[in-house]
Structure 1
Amino acid sequence: MRTALKLFAAVVTVVVLAIGGFAAYIAWSFANASIDTIGEVDFDRPLTIPPLAKSTVDAHGVRTFELAMQAGETDLGRGAKTPTWGFNSSFLGPTLRATRGEQVRVNVTNRLDETSTVHWHGMHLPAAMDGGPHQPINPGASWSPHWQVDQPAATLWYHPHPHGETAKHVYRGLAGMFIVDDDRDVALPRSYGVDDFPILVQDKAFDGDKLDDTNGLFQSAGILGDTVLVNGTPGPFLEATTERVRLRLVNGSNARVYRFHFGDNRAYAVVASDGGLLPKPVETSELLLSPGERAEIVVDVRPGERTVLQSTPPYAGTNRFTGDTDRLDVLELRGAATLRPSPVVPATLAPAPDLADDLVGATRQISLNGSSTNFGKMDLERVDIVSRMGATEVWDVTNSDGQVHNFHIHDVLFQVIRYAGGPPPAVLAGWKDTILIAPNESVELRMRFTDFADAKSPYMFHCHLLRHEDQGLMGQFVVARPGEDVGAIHVPDHVDHAAKAQIPDSHRQRSD
């Protein structure tokens, strides 16, 4: 009897200690969840400007770029160098630049010891060239996508998209910018690295001098780091030498949503979003960008001044584990003692999207919930939506849970018709490919499928919080010709079929 009582007492003690320890961990996690670096960053490094990628043009006018994915070590401000990945370097990649109408080819070589892909985020191109999970590049192998650039001038970017591994590959440093130019003459700053700057913003967490890519117990959105890198530079400053500068903002983070503003609350002009120039500039003092989104802003600079680009809490909520309460210093902007003149930002910039009056060929209902859409978890063999070439469609997308989600679609740009129950704000009046959706809110998107019909090669749509994407919050669509039958989708050999989501047969029906 005494032995039983002792055993019972021991069990109770262990349970009490475990509960107490877990409660202490929760309290510690909550106390340390908020991040505030305002006024704590020493802006002591000049901002790194990624080089423009070298290219060659052959006799047929094809512009060819060379990219190599490789491992290395990079000074990220931790004392010792940090193991990282990059394109043509140890961390991040060069800026590719091409003009509308050009034929381009990118020879991508994988020098890593893991299979990866390269996706051209925001680019309008054939599905077989898109660089999603159906175009893997094995270690030691190469891939040479080619297409004609046919879209308005815009700030795009490129990054890996391997099935279930995207978050890790982007976090380690595989990302770069792709700028599309056209012949539209708009008086904006345009000299790369002089008055027109790439600003790729990423937050990182560290374990000593190594990147920490583990997710905390309560970090359902993914990693939220306490160190902000801009173009891979910790504590960066940018010295402006002109009266105005154009900042091409890219949220390249895995999970963090930024609300960009300057420490002195100055206003600036938002001139472009994901798909290119807005119809007219939007003057504001803050701008919300979720992972994958881009925006171009023009900022006035005064001689000799200093101001800091910061991120304030992005939401009205108080969830510390999704970054609701975080405050971050990002980049110090310095004005040189003497500034060269800059043109005034034009009152009009580009034609507005024109889909609102189109005849709608189909309306889709898509919900984002946890780690799956209403079609189920991502399945590389399942086609969720069949869109018909030449048709305009409406996609009603709902964030149906309490988490942070956004929505990105490959290939096509969309027009935002309604946002959270009302007309879209002015900063969403241009072409988009990625959009933040607040919990339990919906957006109405309209898009036109003009070309690149290929019933065997799918595009993706997904949440661009990369942990959510990897967990299965992604679906597939194909663009088919009217009346064309859609057959089986080829799944690359490297995919672990056993790890695919098991979903009811009723969910395997294609939406046409």
Structure 2
Amino acid sequence: MPRAPGGSTAPTWARPCGPSAASVRVDVTNDLPEVTTVHWHGHELPAAMDGGPHQEIAPGASWHPSWRIDQPAATTWYHPHPHGATADQVVRGMAGMFILDDDASRALDLPDEYGVDDVPVIVQDQAFDGDGQFRRAEHPLSPVGHLGDTVLANGTIGGYHEVTTDRIRLRLLNASPSRVYDFGLDDGRQFALVGTDGGLLSAPHRTDSVRLSPGERAEIVVALEPGERVVLRSTSPDLGTDPWTGRFAGGDDRFDVLQLRASDELTPSPELPDQLAGTPGLDPDDAVATRQFRFSGVSINDRRMDMDRIDETVLADTTELWEIETSDGAPHNMHVHGARFTVLDAGGGRPGPELSGWKDTVYLAPSTTTRILVHFAAHADPDLPFMIHCHLLRHEDRGMMLQFVILEPGQEPGRPPAAHQHEHADRDTDR
């Protein structure tokens, strides 16, 4: 698999699902000289374990979150989430991947040998100062924030993977703070898209490209011939903007990401199954509420993030219909903590197969409305909130984020606590 010198963007491999390993505990120690958090992006878990801005970890302190895995097999990840400083810490490289398996996914004929034919590809764009250190790169005209001129795959510039099987599964993660990618192969060949944010699709989707905005994931299976070399590349993504805005949002940029070098002899892989997973099965008729959210500038519904304010309340184990409008001409996307959703329509059109599965993050083109069905887990807590925010991290840091709590019927929302800072490295702070 690609080298990852320096370690901070190296994949973390965790397969905690299954009858014998249904829970996970992660020990986090903050060796930075500043406060941080670690958010488990894509996980359904109690708000106290979410790692959002309320779960601060002081310098020198430790945090020991634990939770039960109760969701389908998926590619998830983690990154810092300190209020107002997320982009800066992500630019410095902190991102890692979780791989969740379950019995159903292991029974499928999919490439699944970690580091051999099942390979994490964590993609970040970076800029470097004269000493070779990461630096922020924000053009004054950029509507999105940091856009680096160098792309790293698992912390490696110009990385390659030596392929020994005739099919390889790449788990693509856009861990960049602002950039949208349109991934494909340099010769235009098709591949099979088999999974997105929340897990496997119902069936493989044959395509030659997949667009990922910050925070989104995709699992693709690429077929190779002995001895050939193929490059995973990002071409100019269609952002839905005017040409001027698109130029300064990275819409004209192209990058080589990772080279696949096939051995002269390749071990045969099984044909991909025709069916992978069940459909999400959410029905608009089951929605218990409809909500509207308008993304504009760095606010949602004309409100900017307030750590002391609960903006929305939802009921545990229910489904809601959300209508998300963008009105400022700039690119955005939306991530929902502690929940999964399906896309009903994107920009007024029927979603393609790449949006047919479970999602937790979705791109929002300018001047459009996207409708989603959101299902909330049974993790009620009237005081500790989850987040709704734009995952273009400069937007999030400047206030494009709201808070919601999950309630049981009859409960009333409480008041968010002051940031729960884990101050002593020698004290267990599980909740």
Same fold (TM over 0.5): yes
- Residue 17 of structure 2 is aligned to residue 99 of structure 1: yes
Query: Any idea what SS the aligned residue of 1:98 has?
Result: coil
- Residue 334 of structure 2 is aligned to residue 407 of structure 1: yes
State how far apart, in whole Å, the 2-side matches of 1:100 and 1:163 are: 34
Aligned residue number for residue 31 of structure 2: 111
Question: In the TM superposition, what is the alpha-carbon distance from 1:186 to its structure 2 partner?
Answer: 1.2
Q: Over residues 154-192 of structure 1, what are the superposed CA-to-partner deviations in whole Å (9 max), with x where a residue is unaligned? A: 000001000001011111111100111100011100000
Question: In the TM superposition, what is the alpha-carbon distance from 1:93 to its structure 2 partner?
Answer: 5.5
Aligned residue number for residue 115 of structure 2: 193
Aligned residue number for residue 430 of structure 1: 357
State how far apart, in whole Å, the 2-side matches of 1:375 and 1:126 are: 28
State how far apart, in whole Å, the 2-side matches of 1:261 and 1:420 are: 23
Q: Over residues 339-389 of structure 1, what are the superposed CA-to-partner deviations in whole Å (9 max), with x where a residue is unaligned? A: 001011111110001112542211010011111100500001111110012
Question: In the TM superposition, what is the alpha-carbon distance from 1:310 to its structure 2 partner?
Answer: 0.9
Q: How does 1:69-80 map to 2 (within 5 A)?
A: none
State how far apart, in whole Å, the 1-side matches of 2:419 and 2:376 are: 26
State how far apart, in whole Å, the 2-side matches of 1:95 and 1:302 are: 28
- Residue 154 of structure 2 is aligned to residue 227 of structure 1: no
Aligned partner (choices 303, 322, 325) of residue 398 of structure 1: 325
Aligned partner (choices 369, 374, 378) of residue 305 of structure 2: 378
Aligned residue number for residue 346 of structure 2: 419
State how far apart, in whole Å, the 1-side matches of 2:39 and 2:330 are: 26
Aligned residue number for residue 424 of structure 2: none
Aligned residue number for residue 147 of structure 1: 67
Question: In the TM superposition, what is the alpha-carbon distance from 1:91 to its structure 2 partner?
Answer: 5.0
Question: In the TM superposition, what is the alpha-carbon distance from 1:214 to its structure 2 partner?
Answer: 4.1
Q: Over residues 60-115 of structure 1, what are the superposed CA-to-partner deviations in whole Å (9 max), with x where a residue is unaligned? A: xxxxxxxxxxxxxx67xxxxxxxxxxxxx455463333215611111111111110
Aligned residue number for residue 296 of structure 1: 219
With 129-138 and 166-175 compared, the bigger mean Cα shift is at 166-175
With 304-313 and 286-295 compared, the bigger mean Cα shift is at 304-313
Alpha-carbon distance change, 93 to 337 in structure 1, aligned in 2, over 3 angstroms: closer
State how far apart, in whole Å, the 2-side matches of 1:401 and 1:225 are: 24
Question: In the TM superposition, what is the alpha-carbon distance from 1:493 to its structure 2 partner?
Answer: 7.0
Runs of 4 or more consecutive aligned structure 1 residues displaced over 6 Å after TM superposition? none
Question: In the TM superposition, what is the alpha-carbon distance from 1:397 to its structure 2 partner?
Answer: 0.9
Alpha-carbon distance change, 214 to 357 in structure 1, aligned in 2, over 3 angstroms: closer
What letter is aligned with 1:343? P
State how far apart, in whole Å, the 2-side matches of 1:451 and 1:134 are: 20
Aligned partner (choices 119, 123, 130) of residue 43 of structure 2: 123
Query: Any idea what SS the aligned residue of 1:347 has?
Result: coil
- Residue 181 of structure 2 is aligned to residue 261 of structure 1: no
With 136-145 and 101-110 compared, the bigger mean Cα shift is at 101-110
Alpha-carbon distance change, 98 to 375 in structure 1, aligned in 2, over 3 angstroms: farther
Aligned residue number for residue 218 of structure 1: 141
Is contact 1:100-1:151 (8 Å) kept? Answer: no
State how far apart, in whole Å, the 2-side matches of 1:126 and 1:466 are: 23
Give the CA RMSD over aligned residues: 1.5
Is contact 1:375-1:475 (8 Å) kept? Answer: no
Greater RCO, CA 8 A, separation 6+? 2
State how far apart, in whole Å, the 1-side matches of 2:377 and 2:133 are: 46
Is contact 2:11-2:98 (8 Å) kept? Answer: no
Q: How does 1:307-322 map to 2 (within 5 A)?
A: 307-315=230-238, 317-318=242-243, 319-322=246-249
Aligned partner (choices 472, 493, 501) of residue 399 of structure 2: 472
State how far apart, in whole Å, the 1-side matches of 2:285 and 2:55 are: 33
Instruction: State the percentage of identical aligned residues.
Output: 51
State how far apart, in whole Å, the 2-side matches of 1:122 and 1:99 are: 15
Aligned residue number for residue 280 of structure 1: 203
What letter is aligned with 2:329? G
Q: State the TM-score, normalized to the length of structure 2.
A: 0.93
Is contact 2:284-2:321 (8 Å) kept? Answer: no
Q: How does 1:35-184 map to 2 (within 5 A)?
A: 47-48=2-3, 89=7, 91-92=9-10, 94-100=12-18, 102-184=22-104
Aligned partner (choices 122, 125, 141) of residue 203 of structure 1: 125
Unaligned segments of structure 2, at least 5 residues: 422-431
Alpha-carbon distance change, 347 to 218 in structure 1, aligned in 2, over 3 angstroms: same
Alpha-carbon distance change, 476 to 280 in structure 1, aligned in 2, over 3 angstroms: same
Aligned residue number for residue 274 of structure 2: 347
Is contact 1:394-1:447 (8 Å) kept? Answer: yes
Question: In the TM superposition, what is the alpha-carbon distance from 1:491 to its structure 2 partner?
Answer: 2.0
Query: Any idea what SS the aligned residue of 2:328 has?
Result: coil
Q: Over residues 395-453 of structure 1, what are the superposed CA-to-partner deviations in whole Å (9 max), with x where a residue is unaligned? A: 11112211110000001110111111122111110000000011011111112224001
What letter is aligned with 2:155? G
Aligned partner (choices 449, 464, 476) of residue 376 of structure 2: 449
State how far apart, in whole Å, the 2-side matches of 1:325 and 1:180 are: 34
Name which one, 1 or 2, has greater alpha-carbon Rg. 1
What letter is aligned with 1:164? G
Question: In the TM superposition, what is the alpha-carbon distance from 1:212 to its structure 2 partner?
Answer: 1.8
What letter is aligned with 2:63? W
* Larger helix proportion of the pair: 1
Question: In the TM superposition, what is the alpha-carbon distance from 1:326 to its structure 2 partner?
Answer: 0.8
- Residue 286 of structure 2 is aligned to residue 363 of structure 1: no
Q: How does 1:330-341 map to 2 (within 5 A)?
A: 330-341=257-268
Alpha-carbon distance change, 91 to 300 in structure 1, aligned in 2, over 3 angstroms: closer
